[in-house]
Structure 1
Amino acid sequence: MAKIPATRIRTEYKEGVLNNRLIAGNPLRKEVLASTAGHTIELAHFAPHQRFALDLWRRNEFGTTAWRVIVGRTIAPGEYGQKLPGVHPAAVPLMDVSGATRARAALRWLRDKSDEIDELTEAELVSADMFFNNAPMKRIRTYITAQGGA
C-alpha cells in the first residue's frame, strides 16, 4: 500500500506568549511532540487538497505583537504552494488576514463556519479575505461589535 504524502502543520501553545492553533480542518492524525506545564507542541498531518484554518497569535510584555488568521488548502506532490508559518512543505492560501482587529473579525466570521470549512467556496473565502484585509477599520470594528465582540 502506497503511503499518502501528507502536509504537516505544527501548532504551538506557550501560556501568555504564543498560541498558534488549528481552528478548523480534519487531519489524518495528530501527534504531541512536546508537552509541559503551559507549553505544548503538536503536529497535524493532512492529506492533499484538504482545507485547514490557523489562528497565529503572539504577544510580548506590551501586548499583542502579531495576529494572523489563515485558511489554506494542502497540496499534492508536484503542485506549487506558498510557504506558510508552521506548514510543511507548503499550502495554497485561500484567506490570509493579519493585524489584531482584522484577525479578530476574521475569527468571528470563521467561528460559525469551522465545521463547514470544506463547503465554503473559494469565492466566499476570497470575498472574506478582501473584506477583512481592505475594509475601513471603522467597518471592521462595527462587524466585531455586531457579532457580539468587544
Structure 2
Amino acid sequence: MTGIAAPRVRSSAAPASPPLSTTLVELTWIEKKIENWIRFGCDIHEQILDRRRRVIGFAPNSTFAFVRWASNEFGTIISRIDILRAVGTGEPFQTLPFVRPGGDILLKIEGWPKVERVLQAVDAIESIGVDPADVSSDHWRHVHNRLTAGEEPRAYSAEQHRAFLLRRRAEP
C-alpha cells in the first residue's frame, strides 16, 4: 500500500488540555480490524487514551489528511480518506465521524482504488519537496472533483506551489 505509515507512538504523562479552537481527531489502531490514522498534517496536541486510541489536535486553518480503514471477517467494510482544513471558533464546518467539532472538507474519497490514488497524489507532492499540508486547498478540491468524476487529477507542481504561496502572501 502506498503512503501508509503506522501511527506514531509517543510516551506522555497527563497531557494539557488543547486550546478551545483546536480540531480534535480520535484515532484507533486495532491491527487488521480498525486502522484510523493521520497521513499528513502538523498536530499541536496529543492525548494517549490507551494502547489503541489517542486524540490528535490541529490548529485552526491547518490542513490534514484523515484515513479510515476497517474490516470484518468478510473483508474491508470501509476505506476512506478525508482532507480537511481545521476550522476556528465560529466558522461553519461539516461534521465527520471521529472529528470534533468537524472541519472544512477539501476532499472526501471512499473505496480503496480511489483512496490509493489520493495517497499516490500525496506521495507525488512530497516527492517534489512540498509538505501536503501546505498545498493549496483548491488543489485538494480539484483532486476530489476529478476522482469523483472518474478522471485523472492534474499533478501539483513546484511552480504551482510557488504561485500559491505568492498569492497567499499578497492577500490582505
- TM interval, short-chain normalised: 0.7 to 0.9
1:4 CA displacement: 5.1
Question: 1:17 corresponds to which letter in structure 2?
Answer: K
Say whether 1:80 aligns with 2:96.
no
Runs of 4 or more, structure 1, over 6 Å off, are none
Number of aligned residues = 132
Aligned-partner SS, 2:134: coil
In the alignment, the residues of structure 1 paired with residue 113 and residue 139 of structure 2 have an alpha-carbon distance, to the nearest angstrom, of: 20
1:110 to 122, 126, 147: 122
Match of 1:23 in 2: 39
Over aligned residue pairs, what C-alpha RMSD do you find?
A: 1.9
- Residue pairs, 1:58-137, within 5 angstroms: 58-113=70-125, 116-135=131-150
In the alignment, the residues of structure 2 paired with residue 111 and residue 96 of structure 1 have an alpha-carbon distance, to the nearest angstrom, of: 17
- Residue pairs, 1:20-59, within 5 angstroms: 20-35=36-51, 40-59=52-71
1:121 CA displacement: 1.2
TM-score for both structures, normalised by structure 2: 0.71
**Contact 2:82–2:109 under 8 Å retained in 1:** yes
Relative to total residues, which structure has the larger strand share, 1 or 2?
1
**Contact 2:63–2:134 under 8 Å retained in 1:** no
Aligned-partner SS, 2:37: strand
Change (3 A) 1:12 1:112: farther
Question: 2:75 corresponds to which letter in structure 1?
Answer: G
TM-score for both structures, normalised by structure 1: 0.80
Unaligned runs of 5+ in 2: 1-18, 154-172
In the alignment, the residues of structure 1 paired with residue 97 and residue 90 of structure 2 have an alpha-carbon distance, to the nearest angstrom, of: 20
Match of 1:9 in 2: 25
Describe the superposition over 1:1-27 as per-residue Cα deviations: whole angstroms up to 9, x where unpaired: xx5521111111111111010111001
Aligned-partner SS, 1:110: helix
1:129 CA displacement: 0.5
